[in-house]
Amino acid sequence: MKRVFSGVQPTGNIHIGNYLGALKQFVELQDENECIYCIVDEHAITVPQDPKELKKHILDVAALYMAIGIDPKKSIVFVQSSVSGHAELGWVLNCAANTGELFRMTPFKAKSQGKQSVGAGLLTYPVLMAADILLYDTDIVPVGNDQKQHIELTRDLAIRVNAKYGKDTFVVPDGRFMKSGARIMALDDPTSKMSKSAPNDHSRISLLDEPSKIKKSIMRATTDSDGIVKFDIENKPGVSNLLSIYSAFTGKTVEELEAEYDGHGYGDFKKDLVEVTVNALAPIKERYNEIRESQELIDALKDGAERADAIARKTMERVRDRFGLGL
Ligand code: AQP
């Protein structure tokens, strides 16, 4: 059995980019692997958070994990800050990382926007992400395409530490990316990725959006003026993005969809995509409402934290020993 690890930040409502790029894989993988799924609250505080909102979002994400089909009896589901090994290994790996490689990370460049001084967490959180993964001797990390650079950093750090402290200090993990849905773009601007924190609510579809909101967001999604449903990222990024979403929800290939909508305008195509999206999200929302306020959710997270901590402690004993830390 392979070990799988991934996480989502509790920074707002999970959108279909998070779902189609990462979370859908979480469910697919849990039958044949030992899966560990985390709510990475320590990552969320790299930017200012309202403490009450953050606590609420942690439970929102946990309930969404379960609502999409993650079974806490099969997989370990827990909150990152309940296992102290993440922060501890994060520090150890900070001492193995170089500032040069961290300054090169695209999300850091985007979020710091060339400012003289930003929170140090924005620079070092990819190292914490590496710690999250390496702490569990992870083989596979299911994530969206935007995380490729962070997975490369994780691999580099593992290989570097193994070369210096012994080749079995860390398992060197691989990223796992979806064929369709790996990078869902913003509906109002198909040149930037769909994001929880973008100011325009119609740039994304959140998993808990009402059907009327989904309809509005899709019907007003940016396309182009030639009216042909065809996948062409360079010249038709908006239509290509909608085709990727349609394909990821239905399992139909882009070619099948192009043939189906040959001779139809964008109106028919978008109307059908609204239906597909509403139908795919309805059962998730129903299950979410059942579980969000339940004791079952809290119990699952407590149990998950204990199981995760037991694995993390073993890794930290090995790491402390290899690095010569402690008595
Ligand atoms: N647009 C996307 N398309 C495909 N996959 C995506 N992911 C994020 N956006 C897209 C994947 O979702 C997982 C969880 O992401 P996250 O919440 O940990 O962080 P993020 O990438 O920073 O997500 P957002 O939505 O863009 O949040 P904000 O606005 O808070 O920064 C990851 O596997 C990610 O690849």
What's the pLDDT tens digit per position in 147-166? Answer: 999 999 999 999 999 999 99
Q: Is the pLDDT of residue 20 over 90?
A: yes
Banded model confidence at residue 127, pLDDT cuts 50, 70, 90: very high
Taking the centre of ligand 1 as the mean of its atom positions, its distance from the CA of residue 98, in whole angstroms, is 25
Predicted pLDDT at 180: 73
* Mean pLDDT score, 247-255: 95
Residue 105 clears pLDDT 90, i.e. is over it: yes
The average pLDDT across 279-289 equals 97
**Of the candidate ranges 64-73, 150-159, 190-199, 305-314, the one whose mean pLDDT is the lowest:** 190-199
**pLDDT for position 248:** 94
Residue nearest to atom 7 of ligand 1 (CA): 18
Can you tell me the distance from the alpha carbon of 276 to that of 270, in angstroms, rounded to the nearest whole number? 10
189 membership: H or E segment, kind and range? none
- Give the closest residue (by CA) to ligand 1 atom 34: 144
Of 4, 5, 9, which is best to mutate to test ligand 1, by the most ligand atoms within 8 angstroms of its C-beta?
A: 9
Task: Record the tokens describing residue 92, joined without a space.
Answer: 């150890």
Q: In the predicted model, is pLDDT for residue 87 greater than 90? A: yes
Report the separation in Å between the CA atom of 245 and the middle of ligand 1, taken as the mean of its atom positions: 15
Summarize the chain as % helix, strand, coil (round to 5): 55, 10, 35
Residue 18 in contact with ligand 1 by CB distance below 6 A: yes
Starting at the edge strand that comes first in sequence, how are the strands of the sheet with 140-142 ordered? 76-79, 33-39, 2-8, 140-142, 174-176
In the reported structure, the alpha carbon of residue 7 is separated from the centroid of ligand 1 by a whole-number distance in angstroms of 10
CA 145 to ligand 1: nearest atom? 35
| Prediction pTM value | 0.94
3-state secondary structure of 131: helix
317 pLDDT band, cuts 50/70/90, is very high
**Placement of tokens 């740039």 in the chain:** 203
Catalytic pick among 74, 115, 148, 193: 193
User: Atom 21, ligand 1: which residue's CA is nearest?
Assistant: 146
Q: Are strands 76-79 and 2-8 parallel, antiparallel or unpaired?
A: unpaired
Active-site hit among 24, 56, 73, 111: 111
- Whether 213 is a known active-site residue: answer no
Q: What is the pLDDT of residue 174?
A: 98
Is 52 part of the annotated catalytic residue set?
A: no
Using 50, 70 and 90 to split pLDDT, how confident is the model at 57? very high
Q: What is the dihedral of CA 120, 46, 41, 146, to 10 degrees?
A: -100
143 CA: nearest ligand 1 atom:
33
DSSP 290-315: HHTT-HHHHHHHHHHHHHHHHHHHHH
Q: Which residues contact 69 (CB under 8 A, 6 or more apart)?
A: 27
Q: How far apart, in whole angstroms, are the C-alpha atoms of residue 240 and residue 223?
A: 9
Cα-based distances in Å from 270 to 62, 118, 153: 31, 41, 39
11 Cβ inside 6 Å of ligand 1: yes
Q: Are strands 140-142 and 76-79 parallel, antiparallel or unpaired?
A: unpaired
What is the pLDDT at residue 137?
Answer: 98
Is the CB–ligand 1 distance for residue 147 below 6 Å? yes
Per-residue pLDDT, 143: 94
Q: Which atom of ligand 1 is nearest to the CA of 182?
A: 4
Mean pLDDT of 171-188: 91
- The catalytic residue among 2, 196, 271, 314 is 196
CB-CB neighbours of 180 under 10 Å: 19
Q: State yes or no: pLDDT of 12 exceeds 90.
A: no
pLDDT band at 197 (very low <50, low <70, confident <90, very high): confident
pLDDT score for 140: 97
Backbone angles phi and psi of 232, in degrees to 5:
-155, 90
Please say if 193 is a catalytic residue. Answer: yes
Cα–Cα distance measured from residue 109 to residue 11, given in angstroms and rounded to the nearest whole number: 20
Ligand 1: centre distance to CA 249 (Å): 18
pLDDT band for position 179 (50/70/90)?
confident
Say which range, 70-79, 156-165, 192-201, has the weakest mean pLDDT: 192-201
Percent of the chain predicted with pLDDT > 90:
90
CA distance 137 to 280: 34
Distance CA 306, CA 7 (A): 17
Average confidence score pLDDT of the chain:
96
**Best residue for ligand 1 mutational test, from 37, 64, 146 (most atoms within 8 Å of Cβ):** 146
Q: Residue 178: helix, strand or coil by DSSP?
A: coil
What is the reported pLDDT for 256? 97
Quick one: pLDDT at residue 250?
96
